[in-house]
Amino acid sequence: MSKVLPVSIEDILYHIKLSGQIPHILEAIATRKIITDAATAAGITVDTEELQKTADSLRLFHKLIKAEDTWAWLEKHHLTLDDFEEMAKNNILSAKLANHLFADKIEPFFYAHQLDYMGAVTYEVILDDEDLALELFYALKENEISFQEIARQYIQNPEIRRAGGYQGIRSRTDFRPEIAAVVFAVTPPQILKPIITPLGVHIIAVEEIIKPQLDEPLRLKIMGDFFTNWLKQQIIDVEIVPQLEMETNSQSSQNVLSQTV
């Protein structure tokens, strides 16, 4: 039979303080309050259908397929059904507020920054020896060796070696600036002359440059970036005042740690 170890609200709060989590938690609380207040000011509401749909998505995200799975998860995290509903509501308010604030800004921003969203399909081998890199580069140009052969000989990572040095589709920000400047300036397919960085000497094959399309995933990404930056600025602009005195009555944990924004 397991031993019962009682843990009080005061114990939990004290551990949070000792573990250095107070700043992170205060910022999270402030973020939630900022979103709720801004949504209220904008007249944003959540209806029952939206709440049900989002709650279903949350259950799928946490792999809560059966009712008993949900109850076990709630018990593990010390949550009630009302708490779970509040989580869903917060997600909806965040999405609706982001759309309210930035939906009309996404398209102009995209067309002004298309270059940042271009993609490049590349293969890469990084060497330590510049002379060897130049030798291999010219051998590639003369078709004396293939990129896959170079990858098999000089790439240590087995997965990347098996893929022939394939790096996937990468955006401009995924490359070092000195490499991006060259990659996105060529007409593929093309082998780049070795580029030296602090990581070594890069031999890069550019297979394809992919022009960006403002599809739904990219639209959501741009909106998310706008919203994240907006929240960061809101946090900077407020003073968070935690009241960390222990309560002596039996109030809930939400009343033990309060904050004024």
| CA dist list (Å): 244 to 13, 22, 32, 65, 254 | 9, 10, 19, 39, 12
Q: Give the span between the Cα atoms of 153 and 98, in whole angstroms.
A: 49
Start-to-end CA span in the chain (Å): 46
Statement: residue 150 has pLDDT above 70: yes
Per-position DSSP letters for 207-246, written without gaps between them? EEEE-----HHHHHHHHHHHHHHHHHHHHHTS--EEE-PP
2 pLDDT band, cuts 50/70/90, is confident
135 vs 248 pLDDT, higher one:
135
| 51-107 per-position pLDDT tens digit | 999 999 999 999 999 999 999 999 999 999 999 999 999 999 999 999 999 999 999
Q: Give the span between the Cα atoms of 103 and 141, in whole angstroms.
A: 48
* Averaged pLDDT, 237-251: 62
What does pLDDT average to over the chain? 90
Predicted pLDDT of residue 244 = 59
* Averaged pLDDT, 200-214: 95
Q: Pick from 160, 152, 156: which is nearest to 128 by CA?
A: 156
245 pLDDT band, cuts 50/70/90, is low
Which stretch of DSSP H or E encloses residue 92?
helix 81-102
23 upstream amide cis, omega within 30 of 0: no
183 vs 253 pLDDT, higher one:
183
Reduce the secondary structure of 36-84 to three states and give it as a string. HHHHHHCCCCCCHHHHHHHHHHHHHHCCCCCHHHHHHHHHHCCCCHHHH
Map residue 112 onto helix, strand or coil. helix
User: What are the sequence ranges of the domains in the chain?
Assistant: 9-107+216-260, 119-210
Tokens encoding 194: 């070795």
Statement: residue 201 has pLDDT above 80: yes
- HSE-CB at 70 with a 13 A cutoff on CA atoms is 16
Taking the domain 119-210, which CATH number applies? 3.10.50.40
Predicted pLDDT of residue 242 = 75
Predicted pLDDT of residue 1 = 62
Tokens encoding 59: 């259950």
Predicted pLDDT of residue 259 = 37
Which stretch of DSSP H or E encloses residue 107?
helix 106-112
Statement: residue 18 has pLDDT above 90: yes
* Averaged pLDDT, 235-255: 61
245 vs 242 pLDDT, higher one:
242
| 171-180 per-position pLDDT tens digit | 998 999 999 9
* Averaged pLDDT, 135-154: 94
Q: Pick from 43, 140, 121, 46: which is nearest to 87 by CA?
A: 46
* Averaged pLDDT, 195-199: 95
Q: Give the span between the Cα atoms of 211 and 114, in whole angstroms.
A: 8
